[in-house]
Amino acid sequence: MRDLLLVLAVFAACVVESVEALTIVLAVGLTRGWHATMRGVAGGLIVLAIIVAALGPALTVLPIDALRLVVGGLLLIFGLGWLRKAILRASGFKALHDEDAIYQRERAAAEQAQPAGQGIFGDSYAFTLAFKGVLLEGLEVAFIVLTFGANQHSIPLAAVGAVAAVVLVAVAGVALRAPLARVPENTLKFAVGVMLIAFGTFWGVEGAGGHWPGADLALLVIIGGVLVLALAAVWVLRGVHAKQVADDLVQAGAATPVPDPR
């Protein structure tokens, strides 16, 4: 069961980051051309593969308790960051991630950029933007793959979830030639945040010498508990946000001068 949850968490995290990287790649490729853009994509993927290949074996040689403690802390950091953003977006305090708007903005920037020199990688602007997009969006997923896989001594298993997500998003992007705006990104981030926090808590306690009743079954209880707390936070914050909006409207109405009926 733990392995299945691991693959699902990595898959969902990678879908989110892949959609964001795809938006950048499509905007640049359709505007500036595909040769340099695809070279940038390949360069980013190669760097990510080197990072995973270099750090993966190093993590697996750590003592299991120390590894679980470190991995648990890292997953809590990632998970709390993802879940915080998802809660703020779901409650209205932060705007939802709009891939269409990002795509249009990136495409406009690419169209307005001055023609770049044709170096070894072709159009340097297209190469650099595609390279940075793939590398920056992929780094967080690479660390999630490494931490999940190293803790379970199964980096290939975690990599299966990541590769499946990349292939799925890439095929959909090529078929549609448009950003995947309909992917419920905030819902995925919400789910990934819950999963990362649950795994981080589970492994952190084990690394500190604690034992969970029911062993792996405790994961389901932790996931349920984190999910309930997160949904409660959304419910409370929605009420706070609605009150703030209503107060702002009242203040705006009071500040508007009443026209003289004469």
Strand partners, 119: 122
Averaged pLDDT for residues 206-229 = 86
Rounded-to-integer distance, Cα 139 and Cα 257, Å: 53
Which one, of 247, 10, 13, lies nearest residue 152 by Cα? Answer: 10
Averaged pLDDT for residues 38-47 = 88
HSE-CB at 78 with a 13 A cutoff on CA atoms is: 26
Strand partners, 123: 118
Residue 34 has pLDDT above 60, yes or no: yes
Backbone angles phi, psi at 179, to 5 degrees: -65, 145
Rounded-to-integer distance, Cα 219 and Cα 160, Å: 21
Backbone angles phi, psi at 212, to 5 degrees: -95, 130
Q: What is the mean pLDDT of the chain?
A: 78
**By percentage, how much of the chain surpasses pLDDT 70?**
77
Which one, of 189, 26, 29, 15, lies nearest residue 100 by Cα? Answer: 26
Rounded-to-integer distance, Cα 193 and Cα 196, Å: 5
Residue 177 has pLDDT above 80, yes or no: no
More confident residue, 4 or 36: 36
Averaged pLDDT for residues 196-205 = 86
User: Kindly report the CA angle at 224 between 221 and 227, in degrees rounded to 5?
Assistant: 150
Residue 88 has pLDDT above 60, yes or no: yes
